[in-house]
A and B are shown apart, each in its own frame.
Chain A
Amino acid sequence: MTVNALLLTAGFAACALLGLPFALSIGIVVALVLIVSDIEPAFLAQQFVAGSQQYSLIAIPLFMLAGELMSAGGMSQRLVNVASVLVRHRTGGLAMVAVLAALIFSSISGSAPATTAAIGAILIPAMANAGYDKAFAASIAVSAGVLGPLIPPSIAFVIWGTIAEQSVGRLFLSGIVPGLCIAFGLLIVCYVHAKRNGVPKQEKASWTETGNAFLEGKWALLSPVIVLGGIYGGVFTPTEAAGISCVYAAIIGLLVERRLKLRELFPVTLRAARTSAVVTAIVAVSTGYGVLIAQEHIATDLAAWLASHVHEKWIMLAGLNIAFFLLAAVMDELAILVILGPMLIAIGTKFGVDPIHLGAIIVTNVAIGMAAPPIGYCLFVGMAISGLSLGRIARAIWPQILVMLVVLFLTTYIPQFALILQPGK
């Protein structure tokens, strides 16, 4: 292994483990390679520019902003109300409300932690009041958050589409079946938990209440129709859909429902800018990293080495999933996606995995990593909202993680899971 290859792999790991932010760790190893190899330093700045000039990535701040605008305008509360009148009277009903509301919210927002935050802030306290174990309530909000990146639109798919040069619209479609399966599995977990622990049922909503919930929630419910209908009706690209959903949320919040105040726009946009910068900085910085990885043939060498040692595609896919799951225990999932992207693509090509199918496997892994202990975006949001320790949520969340792993297994070995909704397949 050359010094450069060592810096790019072990050097990055050392920086990240020392506690340097991921975006900086990537930038630092690129700078070190430039210094060690006596390459023109302007390369770093040039790659920063190249990395931040990718049009598809513009969808990231816009989807974040749309989610923030909708939460600030009270749309998430109204989505919860709609879900509530539909399923709250069933066994485990209030927990099912969280799953259903997360499912609807996911078709507006592309972010897992935003989904957990929107649903959890309302439903964790409500579930605890209704007799659910608070740790279970938090764990349901955390695990329902993973629907964010799987149900379109999805920030994780936007990033993967940019790295792998695949159609973001087609990638979005590949996450729907895995996402719905996870949602279904979570509903079963809710039912079993409530049955076992004798959680009291909620009162069934009257027709008037149901009508009112739908009437109040109509603008929120129309939003996924505009976003998804717009993308798949060929009206606009995913990036434009993100912009349109911001405009829609702002108009509804400011002018139609008037629950959003003008003075809130600055803090709301700043919040979206912060969460977006966390992600886009990593992606932008990694462009230079990717060039150096390619120059050192690290990705292709690794894929060739794997192909000479692992002969079965199914073993390779199993290894890939296990490696991702273990890495996600110590590292940010989106950073893994970006750092390992070139290697994952090289491996996928070598073993003949359909690139859209590979995207679905990877993003399902990303989604699981966001909820699985010990670290994950959704988990942190769940801890912050509920005030519970990691240990308590971790003990409550394992059945949900199991559900997700089953869906990951199915997505990995039954390509139709990802490909059935693809046009022309």
Chain B
Amino acid sequence: MLSAARRLAGRLVELVAMLLRASIVMAIAILLACVAYQVLMRYVFSKSPPWSEELALLMFSWATLGGMALGVYEGFHVRVDLLIDWLSADMKGWAERIIGVVTAAFGAYLAWSGWRFVDVTSGSVSAAIGYPIEYLHSLPPVCGALMFVFAIWRLIAGPPASATTESAT
């Protein structure tokens, strides 16, 4: 029963990670399209669209913050591992657990901080496109919540099989 629940949870987390990956790739594709369209419009039609920069920035914010959360899941963030590598296998496991707990706590704090930020600023719209500012301001709490979930899941199940083994650098 417990193992079935765990398998289901594992599948759910992996599904969330897959959606996250797809959304980041989409964000980068859209931001590239915005930048390219901007150059094209300026040189071919001599006018710059007012919305392209704002949309590109919104996509960039997601690529950055979503990427930050994905980094927690896949473990590709850069860090100093000199000290951890010196520890015995047993101690290393404990150190990784502490890091996981701290990461989850930070994710939770960011989610809460972001929730308050959305609450305070809701109702306004962006300058050029006029999209509801909640779209942009909800990215940090979403990033925080994802970091929380991913860090907790790594504490339970260890690094995911889908995580890239190649260096992220």
Contacts and interface: CB of A to CB of B under 8 A. Distances in A.
A273 B25 contact: yes
Interface string A350-375: 00000000000000000000000011
Given A49-B139, A273-B67, A246 B32 contact: yes
Nearest to A282: B78
Contact of A272 (B28, B39, B82, B109): B28
Contacts of B38: 240
A57 interface: yes
Nearest to A48: B140
Interface string A275-289: 111101110110000
A407 interface: no
Contacts of B77: 21-24, 278, 281
A243 B109 CA distance: 35
Nearest to B138: A45
A55 B53 CA distance: 8
A375 B96 CA distance: 20
A42 B137 CA distance: 10
A24 B103 contact: yes
Interface string B64-80: 11111011101011111
The secondary-structure label for the interface of chain B is helix
B116 A40 contact: yes
Interface residues of A, number: 66
Nearest to A281: B68
B146 interface: no
A65 B71 contact: no
A243 B61 contact: no
Given A278-B71, A284-B64, A17 B80 contact: yes
Interface in A16-51: 16-24, 27-28, 31, 34, 40-46, 48-49
A41 B78 contact: no
Given A22-B79, A48-B140, A52-B61, A240 B35 contact: yes
29 contacts: A17-B80, A19-B79, A21-B78, A24-B103, A27-B106, A34-B113, A41-B109, A45-B116, A46-B117, A48-B65, A48-B139, A52-B60, A53-B57, A53-B136, A58-B60, A61-B63, A62-B31, A240-B38, A243-B35, A243-B36, A273-B24, A276-B67, A277-B24, A278-B67, A280-B60, A284-B64, A284-B65, A332-B80, A380-B167
Interface of A: 15-24, 27-28, 31, 34, 40-46, 48-49, 52-53, 55, 57-58, 61-62, 65, 113, 235-236, 239-240, 242-244, 246-247, 266, 269-270, 272-278, 280-282, 284-285, 330-332, 335, 374-375, 377, 380-381, 384
Given A18-B83, A243-B35, A276-B28, 9 more contacts: A23-B68, A23-B77, A24-B106, A42-B113, A45-B110, A45-B141, A58-B56, A332-B78, A381-B167
Query: When A and B form their complex, which 4 residue pairs have the shortest distance between CB atoms, in order from nearest?
Result: A277-B67, A21-B77, A243-B35, A45-B114
